[in-house]
Amino acid sequence: MNNKKTELLVAALENGTVIDHIPSELVFTIAQLLELEKLNSSVTIGYNLTSKKIGKKGVIKVADKFFSDEEISRLSVVAPNVVLSIIRNFDVVEKKEVITPDELHGIVRCSNPKCITNNEPMSTYFHVVDKQAGTLKCHYCEKEQNKSKVKLV
Amino acid sequence: MTKSFVTIADLSKEKIMSLLEAAARFEENPNRKTLDGKVIATLFFEPSTRTRLSFETAVNRLGGRVIGFSDAATSSSSKGESLKDTIMMVGNYADLIVMRHHLEGAARYASEVSPVPIINAGDGANQHPSQTMLDLYSIYKTQGTLENLNIYLVGDLKYGRTVHSLLMAMRHFNPQFHFIAPKELAMPNEYKIYCKEHGINYVEHTDFNEETIADADILYMTRVQRERFTDLMEYERVKDVYILKADMLKGTRDNLRILHPLPRVNEIATDVDDSPKAYYFQQAKNGLYVREALICDCLGINEK
Ligand SMILES: [Zn+2]
C-alpha cells in the first residue's frame, strides 16, 4: 500500500534518468553535484520516502536528461554506490553505475589550509591514487588525503 | 606548455644526470654571456635572502638582467592581487620567472597559467627542487657517483623538506639510507612507504654517535628546532644528542662528506668546520652552478 502511495507522489518518466534508493541525507548533495538547478527540464526530488531496504530514502527523477560518464563520476566521492536508471519510452533501458575517475576536477576541497587552491580563485584538481582505499593526491600541494575526510567545494 | 621546473618528483634519472653534467660545465666556466639580452624575474612572495641571492648571482654571471621583489609587502599581492594576475603581468616583461611562495602548490599553479617558464624556488613546506639538485650535485661531485651510497640523514626528518626531496630524488640510484632522529621527529610513514614502493633500503636509529656513522659516505645534517616539539621535556632530553662534533669523525670513512642545507645553528659544532670532511659551505656554492644549469635548461639553451 505504502509503496503505491510513494509511486503516486512521483510522476512516471517517459524519457530521462531516475536515481533511486538514495540515502536521504545525500539527496541534495547529489542534486548539487549533478547541477540539477541549471536544467530547464522537469526535475522531481523525493526526500524522506519510506524504503523497506534502507529506512528513509530519496529519489531523483530528471526528465529528458541523460548524464555523461564525466557528470556521473562526480558522485564517486560521496555516493559511489548509487545506480542511475536510463528511461526511454517509460522503460528502463540501461543501468549506470558510478565509476571512480582517475582525476577529480573542481569537486572536492583540499584539506591543506596552506594549499594554493584554498587561497586563490581557482579550481581544485586531485589524482585518485588508490581507488579502493579512496586516496586522493592534490595536484598542487601534493598532499595525499582520504576521500572520507575531504569536503565538497 | 612552457618548460618549468616545479618539483623533483617527476624528474627522470637521465634528466637529473644531464642537469648535473650541465652544472659541472658551469662550474668550469661560470661567467658567460649566455643570457645576454634576457630578463629574469625573481618573485619572492616569501623572503629568502640566501636563495634569492643565489639565483640572482646565477643570472648576473650569465649576463642576464634581473627584475622582481624580495618580499610580498612590496609587491602588488599585498594589495590583494591574485597570484595568477601577478604572474600574467610579470610574464609580459620577463623571459623566465623564479618564484618563492609560502603557499604549497603555488609554483605548479603559476606554471600552468604563465606564458614563460617558472622555476620553483620553494613553495611552503612542499618543494624546493633547486636545493635538492644542489644536494645531488654535491654528492655526485664529492663521491664521483650517485650510485650505491650510504646516506645518513640526521636530525629533523619529520618536517625537513630537504631530506624528503633528497630521498625521492635518490630513488634512481640504489642508496642505503640511515634515518637518525628523535622519536618525535622520525621519518613520516608516507616516506617509509615510498621507500618500500621504490625498493629503497633504510635503517632507523635514535642514537647518533661514532659507531652509528662509521660506514657513512654522506652525512646530511638538519636542525632540530625547539618549536617542533609538543613535549618540551623530550626536547630537553634530545637537543644535544643530534649535534655533530669533530671527535665523532675519527672512525669515519675518508670519503665521508658532511652536508647541511644551511643556515646552521648548533647542530654542527664549529670544530667540524676545519675537517676536510666538512662540505656545507662548498655545498652552498654549488647552488650557483646548479641554478645556472636550471635557468638555461628552462630557457631551452644547451650550453657546452
Ligand atoms: Zn592541495
Contact by Cβ (8 Å): B120, B99: yes
B141 pairs with which residues across the strands? none
pTM of the predicted model, to two decimals? 0.88
Find the helix or strand (DSSP H, E) in which A132 lies. Answer: none
- pLDDT tier for residue A93 given thresholds of 50, 70 and 90: very high
Q: What is the pLDDT of residue B78?
A: 67
Distance A136 CA to ligand 1 centre (A): 10
Contacts B82 to A, Cβ<8 Å: 120-121
Provide CATH 2.30.30.20 ranges for chain A. Answer: 103-146
- Give yes or no for residue A8 having a pLDDT over 50: no
Q: What is the pLDDT of residue B2?
A: 64
User: Which phi and psi (to 5°) does residue B128 adopt?
Assistant: -145, 70
Q: What is the pLDDT of residue B210?
A: 94
Calculated CA dihedral for residues A82, A88, A91, A95, nearest 10 degrees: -30
Neighbours of B59 (CB within 10 A): 23
Q: Which residue has the cell 603555488?
A: B106
- Give yes or no for residue B7 having a pLDDT over 50: yes
Provide CATH 3.30.70.140 ranges for chain A. Answer: 2-97
- pLDDT tier for residue A11 given thresholds of 50, 70 and 90: low
Q: What is the pLDDT of residue B71?
A: 87
Q: Where are the domains of chain B?
A: 31-127, 130-284
CATH class, A103-146 region = mainly beta
Segment B7-29 mean pLDDT? 95
- Which pLDDT tens digit goes with each residue over B78-133? 678 899 999 999 999 999 999 999 999 999 999 999 999 999 999 998 999 999 99
- Give yes or no for residue B229 having a pLDDT over 90: no
Residue percentage of chain A with pLDDT more than 90: 65
- Give yes or no for residue A119 having a pLDDT over 60: yes
- Which pLDDT tens digit goes with each residue over B281-295? 999 999 999 999 999
For the domain bounded by B130-284, which CATH number is listed? 3.40.50.1370
CATH for A2-97, among 3.40.50.10800, 3.30.70.140, 3.40.50.1970, 1.10.645.10? 3.30.70.140
- Give yes or no for residue A74 having a pLDDT over 60: yes
Q: Report which residue type is found at A141.
A: C
Q: What is the pLDDT of residue A56?
A: 87
Segment B190-202 mean pLDDT? 95
- Which pLDDT tens digit goes with each residue over B255-273? 999 999 988 888 999 999 9
Given CB atoms, is A137 within the 8 Å cutoff of chain B? no
User: Which phi and psi (to 5°) does residue A6 adopt?
Assistant: -60, -45
CA distance B126 to chain A (A): 6
Distance B138 CA to ligand 1 centre (A): 31
Q: Which CATH architecture has domain B31-127?
A: 3-Layer(aba) Sandwich (3.40)
B39 pairs with which residues across the strands? B65
- Nearest residue of chain B to residue A144 (CA atoms): B190
Distance B141 CA to ligand 1 centre (A): 35
Q: Which of residues 85-124 of A touch B (CB under 8 A)?
A: 112, 114-117, 119-122
CB contact under 8 A, B109 and A112: no
Contacts B9 to A, Cβ<8 Å: 142
Residue percentage of chain B with pLDDT more than 70: 98
Q: What is the pLDDT of residue A30?
A: 94
- pLDDT tier for residue B206 given thresholds of 50, 70 and 90: very high
- Give yes or no for residue A81 having a pLDDT over 90: no
Mean pLDDT, rounded, of chain B:
94
Given CB atoms, is A9 within the 8 Å cutoff of chain B? no
- pLDDT tier for residue A1 given thresholds of 50, 70 and 90: very low
DSSP B151-203: EEEES-TTT-HHHHHHHHHGGGG--EEEEE--GGGPPPHHHHHHHHHTT-EEE
Segment B62-72 mean pLDDT? 94
ipTM of the complex: 0.89
- Give yes or no for residue A76 having a pLDDT over 60: yes
